[in-house]
Structure 1
Amino acid sequence: MISVVEADFSARLRAAAMVWLDRRCTPDNPVVSRDELMNFQFDGHRIALLDYSRGIRKPANMSVALSIVTTFTPENQRAPYEDAPGPDGLLRYKYQGDNPEQWDNVSLRRAHQLNIPLIWFYGVAPGLYLPRYPVWIVADEPEQLQCAVAMDEEQQAIAALGISAPQRRYVERMTRQRMHQPVFRERVIHAYATSCTICSLRHASLLDAAHILPDAHPDGVPSVTNGLALCKIHHAAYDQNILGIRPDYKVEIRHDILAEIDGPMLRHGLQEMQGATITLPHVRAERPNREALAHRYAVFQAATA
């Protein structure tokens, strides 16, 4: 149990933080900076929403965790998505250190026991985080130094009843939709400086993170090197094999499309892209995988034969 005073303060703080994030994180700018999170104001005081150097944030006057953080690591220093789903399809969050009784870890356990929601800040670039909230700790696994996290109320309800084998695939799909897909999108969009790699359109809400190799492919991992920032027109054209991207980063437009006569969108948006070189991420380790491009380009060629 926690005191009435702490329970009231905790509930008001969490509600205020989530309302602020609702307003701050828009479709055009869904990520928030470390500086903003460190300077959050509540009841006339600065209360940081994440910790300076720890993954679990518990303000000094609280016994229950407020937020958890997954730190950004560069593309060439990590396996894609460290927070892999467990056997039940739910994401796992690792403890701080190797002692389950360390106070950070106890604060997560208390959130589980009291059914108190948290905010998960997922690093998508240095100093930039994609917030996911509210999330709930639904299982504690001290032997593995981790806990299970439900990404929304539906996952929380399913976990409370016990996740059957048939439900696992559904829960894992929900996990991808709520965490992995948004994180993949933000990492790809940031790598390409919020710009379509083909036409340089810079409106974030009109950009997609397109997979080079699809999810169903054995190598279709949600990694930046398997992604391209494309405007919605060029994403659809890429998926429909109207345009292809060669391993040398050149754009090809399907022959029959080049021969068509239509309005300005076809002429300027597609036909004039023939032979263009895509704009690459500044960081070399984030550039598209040439083998993946070659495989996908072969699919384009087969479709145009």
Structure 2
Amino acid sequence: MKRVLITGAAGFLGSHLCDRFIKEGYHVIGMDNLLTGSKDNIEHLFALENFEFYHHDVSKFVHVPGELDYILHFASPASPIDYLKMPIQTLKVGSLGCHNLLGLAKEKNARFLIASTSEVYGDPNVHPQTEEYWGNVNPVGPRGVYDEAKRFQEAITMAYHTFHGLETRIVRIFNTYGPRMRLDDGRALPAFMSQALKGEDITVFGDGSQTRSFCYVDDLVDGIYRLLLSEHAQPVNIGNPSEITIKEFAEEVVALTKTGSKISYQDLPKDDPKQRRPDISKAKEILDWEPKVDRKDGLAITLQYFMEKLGVEVKS
């Protein structure tokens, strides 16, 4: 049985990755310091013989006994509300944490996959964003703690690949949604859904003309799994190229929740990207991957999750 270490295992994406690797027959070692993750997301796995959990901060020395075949580094605050509140921790998990895990991968001769992000493109001057685009990032702006942590992760991962010959993979993740997102996450979908279900106005920053492309979590996890098992070491975009304005997205949520919530506009945060859409040509060609879940279907599943968490029902 192959063994995989997944950091950030109690988080939104990490927990879904744990599920996928368990389903594929792996022995999964989950690691998380629970700073933003929750044991609730992986509680269903604790009774399994092929799952174990380490409560640990990867910014400190990481030791895992036994052999490891794969390491997936998904530990990091990922929403603006988190990394603006915890800027130092965000930088440390992206630098010290990544270095520690690359060292572990080298020791174990394990293939290493790093969770990068579309934020490496910053507020892009190229649209849609291809992997060859170097980005437009403000390193000293409020978002720089997250953007530059991810850019550093890519650089050090590639350095280990070229200098040490380590097997590495880099996934650039675009906006993703689905069950297990935190209600207080601060990102558009959980914010919109929780506000609507509570009967509050939906907060849209700026005039709502900025765009995002939302990928359902099962599609994203499938793309990551395929990339890990591929032979491609360069970064690959994984996301849904179906682009929508934030205003239109808020209106979709209002219609779905049938709450009649109004849209309230607030000032756009500094350096907030105005456009975000992945070019997934590489994923299609190299991984034979593209998203399958329609946004309407994915939102319905996600809404059901939020309704259960909040204990509310949608009007018929």
TM-score (normalised: structure 2): 0.31
Greater RCO, CA 8 A, separation 6+: 2
TM-score (normalised: structure 1): 0.32
Highest Rg: 1 or 2?
A: 1
